[in-house]
Amino acid sequence: MADFKGKYLKVWEVKENNGYVKLNLGDSIKQKDGTYKNWTWFDCALFGEAAKKEFVKGDTVEVTSGQIYQEEYNGKWYTKVKIFHIQKMDVESKTPTQNNSGFQSKPSQDNQYQSYGSYNPEPKPEDFNGGSGSFKDDIPF
């Protein structure tokens, strides 16, 4: 199991299945050439505080607490996502909107990509341990 967090995810579909609300969420990463690589997280189940909120197709959200894991069914493995805390985002002001409880949510302070303009999935050697450029030299043992 791993943490599942994301900012500016697009709600593509809202559905109810066996008493659970599930969202299909769109995500994207900007590529070096300026284009975007897009994908969808299917059937993200809402639990706890997240299950108390209402969403509609087209909402932009931030997931601040969730889990992603693999589950086996009939010999095949499937990716599953559970979301515990989620909030709607105002895309123009880049801030959380009023939530269903009537109070203003605070933006997540623990999002590791929050202060960066975009996520770069290909780190350079100088991004690691002071920038010596040699992974062998950077290993302390």
Residues 55-83: pLDDT tens digits? 999 999 999 999 999 999 999 999 999 99
Sign for the CA dihedral angle at 51, 52, 57, 63 comes to: negative
Query: Measured between alpha carbons, how far is 126 from 132 in angstroms, rounded to an integer?
Result: 6
Alpha-carbon distances, residue 64 vs 4, 8, 106, 114 (angstroms)? 8, 11, 11, 11
Give the pLDDT confidence of 6-24 residue by residue, as tens digits: 888 999 999 997 888 999 9
- Per the domain annotation, does 139 fall within a domain? no
- Per the domain annotation, does 93 fall within a domain? yes
Give the pLDDT confidence of 79-121 residue by residue, as tens digits: 999 999 999 987 666 566 654 443 333 444 444 333 333 444 4
The residue segments making up the domain with residue 76 are 2-110
- Per the domain annotation, does 133 fall within a domain? no
131: helix, coil or strand? helix
Query: Measured between alpha carbons, how far is 103 from 81 in angstroms, rounded to an integer?
Result: 27
- Per the domain annotation, does 132 fall within a domain? no
Looking at the chain, the whole-number percentage of residues with pLDDT higher than 70 is 64
Q: What is the CATH number of the domain that holds 52?
A: 2.40.50
Query: Measured between alpha carbons, how far is 88 from 107 in angstroms, rounded to an integer?
Result: 11
- Per the domain annotation, does 126 fall within a domain? no
pLDDT exceeds 60 at position 36? yes
Mean model confidence pLDDT for the chain: 75
| Residue of 35, 17, 15 whose CA lies nearest to 25 | 15
